[in-house]
Amino acid sequence: MADDETTGTSAEDAALNTALAAEHAAVWGYGAVGAALGADGRAAAAAAEAGHREVRDRLITLLDGRGAEPVLPEAGYELPFPVLSPVDAAALAVVLEEGVTAAWVRVLGQAAERTTRALAVEVLGPAEVRAVGWREAAGRTPVTSALPGLPAT
């Protein structure tokens, strides 16, 4: 639980900043994904990266407009595992999309504004669709998720 002063839009802004941190990580991570893929897969990675850049920029604009300081990207990131093959790259993309999805589902749980929930819903669908494709490329089963972004019970 957070402190008692974290209420309403401040909780929403904190969740949005957490989503922004995840989007920063995704933008960075897709560079590594694309580098390990062939030409066909690289196009998918580039499209995904572009999607995350767009969401990142919308989040920065939104938080700036509210007077909340948007979180910056980290100075450096380390890969969770070596990304040496297309399968590794797809597995990393799954990590990125699932991380972003968890952050956006949290936004839904914390949001005070309907427009914020609308943004979260708009982002979540494409993220899960991308995750389905990457899970398949990574050889994961099942490739779909019943409750993306929510912890298993």
Residue 15: partners with Cβ closer than 8 Å, 6 or more residues away: 103, 106, 107, 109, 110, 111
Shortest Cβ distance from residue 85 to other proteins (Å)? 18
Listed residue (98, 107, 104, 112) closest to 152, CA to CA? 98
Sign of the CA dihedral with 30 first, then 57, 102, and 50 last? negative
Shortest Cβ distance from residue 61 to other proteins (Å)? 17
Shortest Cβ distance from residue 75 to other proteins (Å)? 5
Query: CA geometry: angle at 58 spanning 52 and 64, to 5°?
Result: 135
**Per CB under 8 A, does 124 bind other proteins?**
yes
Listed residue (2, 116, 11) closest to 59, CA to CA? 116
Shortest Cβ distance from residue 139 to other proteins (Å)? 15
Instruction: Tell me the number of residues near other proteins by CB under 8 A.
Output: 66
The residues binding other proteins (CB under 8 A) are: 1-2, 4, 6-8, 11, 15, 18-19, 21-22, 25, 27-29, 31, 72-80, 95-96, 98-99, 101-106, 108-112, 114, 117-118, 120-121, 124-129, 131-133, 142-151, 153
